[in-house]
Structure 1
Amino acid sequence: MSEESELISKTLLTIDKFKTVDNFKQAIQSNEYQGKSYFIRSLIWKTLFLTESLTIDSWSGKLNDCRRIFHELVRREDMQLPWDTLDHENIYYKSKNVNLSRSNSHIKRTKSLKPTMKLEFTRVSSDPLSTENTKPGHETDGDHESTMAKGISDDTELLSMIIVDVDRIFPGDPFFTKDIKRELIEILYVWSKCNQVGYKQGFHEILGLIFKNLYNDCVSISDNCPLEELKILKLFNIKFFKHDVFQIFNKFLNNFGIVENYYRDEKVLLNQINVFNMYLLKIDQLIHYNLISKLNLESQLWCIKYFRLVLIREFEHDNITNLWDKLVTVSPLKFPMFLNFLIITMMINLKSNLIIGDFTECLSLLLHYPTDSDTKFMTHLFDFSVKLLDNKDDDLKLYQLGMKINSTLNPNLKISLSLNSGTKELDAKDKMALEKYRMEMRLKKRVQSLMR
């Protein structure tokens, strides 16, 4: 069977099985779709972000509308990448007469589209994902006022800044060749000039993961392709791959609140961390007490990376890819809250270490989350987070779910607190019980290390 025929067959089987987008979402969340012979990752993402329907006859119009935006943007004079202004020794240098974005001329031309937001940039002079720049009140992009006043001096500086990040994307991954990186750079450049927030470090990893995971489903369509086949294959047409990725990337960052809650404003980010701390206290008082009350380990020292990169660095590729397939089925408006519960569940998975570790041990563990999570845990991670989200306004339910998550992920950990401990500081009895347990466990770990 040819690659095109296989895509058509899998698409038809998927549509016949689930019929509606809502059914499709449920199947993805419950693992009914993953691992099936008719599984297509691109069909998940393009259905949810582009076509919004499993009715094949409706796809063409939706795809044309989505693709026309990027098509028109890359033809605007102010969107042309200044490859020719780079140093001649730069591997991405291109002379001005080399045109990189003049393909797909068969799209019907429309009026030039204006950028959706005012063009405004903020210099990223330091890595906002580093622990040195994540304390309350510390601007993760350097001096916020001065950089906003200065802005990006020119387009070459913006391009150079993006190149630096893309060049170091996912080190060692052979997928990211020079040509692939150039396409990532173009998408990021155009997106940054169309969005007020500009370019931020971290965007390149989000785009990179989306790009890589959808690329393998692309096909070249022959000129004599039958109409009925063309209706389906149009979804996977490699000529419009960058157009589709641009739209998906844009909608994921903006509609799911990634930019608004974690990148745009430091005060909003700090508020998100405060909300996270509040729910951690309601769901698992022991972890909250040891990290925040006892060790004074502020959540912003480690969780900003989790928020901004949507857990990319915390899991191995297959696990984060499968998790992201599920994440995009969550209501975009609820996504920031859902991310809180994902992180809290991840912390409970490490609870035995987080409640006995000292400041350095706990911070190191959270900054370098063990990536060897098994499939069973990844299923628990999503399912428990959904239940927490559904009961986010009921403190009693959150407490009970916290106990249930603990009994599943930490069956040998017996110490627990009362419901009242979830709404106030631990009382003397609770503190004594926890300190006794911590001492016993630390002594046990010390003896085990000596025996080795």
Structure 2
Amino acid sequence: MDLKQLTIDKYETREKLVLSGIWGGEIYKTANLAAGNGRGWLWKTLVIDGDADVEEPVEVPSLEHNVEGSSQGRKPRVRKQKSIRRLTPIDVARHPLRIPATDGEAGTGEDDRTCLQEKLEIIDLDLSRLMLHDIFQQDQVHSEMRQILYNYLLRNEEDSSYKQGYHELLGMIYLQLHTDEREDLGAGQRKMRLRNALCIFEKLMKHMTLFYNETRLIQWEEKEFRPILSTCCPRLYDIFCSDDNHTNLLWLIRWTRLLFMRELPRDYTLIIWDHLFTGLYPVHTLVACLIVVLLLNNYRLLVEEVEDHNDLVELMLHFQSRITSMVDCIELCKMAGNLCELWYTQDVDSMKLICDNFLKIKFNVDREPDREERIDPNRRRIEEKLRRRVKQTLLPKRKTLNK
């Protein structure tokens, strides 16, 4: 059934759509979203509050070595060969460390122009390697994506630096809007698509800047992710956080900055994004709880196959290919949402109960006592490793004796 018509007929308000349709899972039972039927419209409904929020994107200016306009063919791969990238012009009108020009002082704009040129070159390179869908190899799509990213940097001076990952997040948004529309769009309809994509991306990035700032990401791990994991599953906390000689940032950077795009199948990722766009819970807390639930889903794999930090990093960076157990994505989001609510009310006993019941039902695992078992987790892992090696050594001998 068509999602747009279903939503209009069934849900009178956005609140009902959020609570019953998405978090209640009703739209996933009725509407077919597998073929991109209406998801772009759904995201516009959830994120864009009227046309007042959507401003007209400006054109990308033509710069030296970047002679390109949105109406012309792109030339992102034709670049001057440079042995060393020029970070600052050799001849500048003012000292680069000088306080920026005030309103009454005229500035040359030369430094900003060079910086913008470098950003556009990096954006062109990233977009040329975007593999979410074949449409991103089309000149028109590349030009529109480039224009959206340029406008985002222009309108968000506090986050004016472009970082790798922005193009993939925008690509997922753009793809949903593009899939919902006909290919023979007029110029006015294409402009509207750009405006909608820019608005959704901009509102998403207001919550994502935390994950793209390394200092704030470290604080988030220490103050939110680790405590939630420790509350939900002490055994997994021991595996991920007990060793002071390693850092989880090696894998958390990709998990958080790309919102599970590399770790989960596409249909799972899209459903998770549906829930994130509802704004029902703070994104940083919901992401922490989603990661914890994903780890609980693969409890057995983590406990049995992770012997040291190298094993852990290898598994977490190849998570999708190593997944051995996954619940339905709607149930996964519901469980993460419940943990969010309980975390904000500091009802840790209920959090423990939810996770204990999950592990008991799914893996027949009882919660370990929070005392001696957690004194030296490294020693316990070494002992388990030795037990497995002894079993592997003795098994051939037993077979020989039986013969």
Q: TM-score range by the shorter chain?
A: 0.7 to 0.9
From 3, 7, 20, the equivalent of 1:14 is: 7
Give 1:33 shift: 0.3
Residue 85 in structure 1 maps to residue 37 in structure 2: no
Give 1:203 shift: 0.6
Residue 197 in structure 1 maps to residue 146 in structure 2: no
Distance 1:247 1:382, change over 3 A: same
Kept in 2, the 8 Å contact 1:355–1:438? The answer is no
Partner of 1:338 in structure 2? Answer: 286
Kept in 1, the 8 Å contact 2:290–2:333? The answer is yes
TM-score by length of 2: 0.75
Distance 1:404 1:32, change over 3 A: same
Distance 1:294 1:440, change over 3 A: farther
From 161, 175, 178, the equivalent of 2:135 is: 175
Gapped regions of structure 1 (runs ≥ 5):
1-5, 52-61, 88-92, 101-122, 126-144, 224-235
Distance 1:184 1:80, change over 3 A: closer
1 CA distance for matches of 2:393 and 2:176? 43
Partner of 2:341 in structure 1? Answer: 390
2 CA distance for matches of 1:446 and 1:242? 63
Partner of 1:23 in structure 2? Answer: 16
From 286, 306, 330, the equivalent of 1:379 is: 330
Counterpart AA for 2:6:
L
Partner of 1:129 in structure 2? Answer: none
Counterpart AA for 2:8:
I
Kept in 1, the 8 Å contact 2:39–2:176? The answer is yes
TM-score by length of 1: 0.67
Kept in 2, the 8 Å contact 1:14–1:38? The answer is no
Gapped regions of structure 2 (runs ≥ 5):
73-84, 88-95, 101-110
Q: Secondary structure at the match of 1:331?
A: coil
Kept in 1, the 8 Å contact 2:128–2:137? The answer is no
2 CA distance for matches of 1:441 and 1:212? 48
Number of equivalences: 350
Kept in 1, the 8 Å contact 2:260–2:269? The answer is yes
Q: Secondary structure at the match of 2:329?
A: helix
Give 1:80 shift: 3.0
Kept in 2, the 8 Å contact 1:219–1:238? The answer is no
Partner of 1:110 in structure 2? Answer: none
Give 1:425 shift: 8.0
The correspondence of residues 53-132 of structure 1 with structure 2, limited to 5 A, is: 62-63=50-51, 65-67=52-54, 69=55, 71=56, 73-74=57-58, 80-82=60-62, 85-86=64-65, 93-94=67-68, 99=71
Residue 249 in structure 1 maps to residue 247 in structure 2: no
Kept in 2, the 8 Å contact 1:220–1:238? The answer is no
2 CA distance for matches of 1:442 and 1:170? 42
Q: Which shifted more, 357-366 or 399-408?
A: 399-408
Give 1:206 shift: 0.3
Residue 407 in structure 1 maps to residue 360 in structure 2: yes
Kept in 1, the 8 Å contact 2:271–2:330? The answer is no
Q: Secondary structure at the match of 1:154?
A: helix
Give 1:50 shift: 1.2
Distance 1:442 1:22, change over 3 A: farther
Deviation sequence 1:349-384 (CA, Å, 0-9, x none): 222232241222211111111256887442332121
Deviation sequence 1:278-311 (CA, Å, 0-9, x none): 2211111111112322584422121121111111
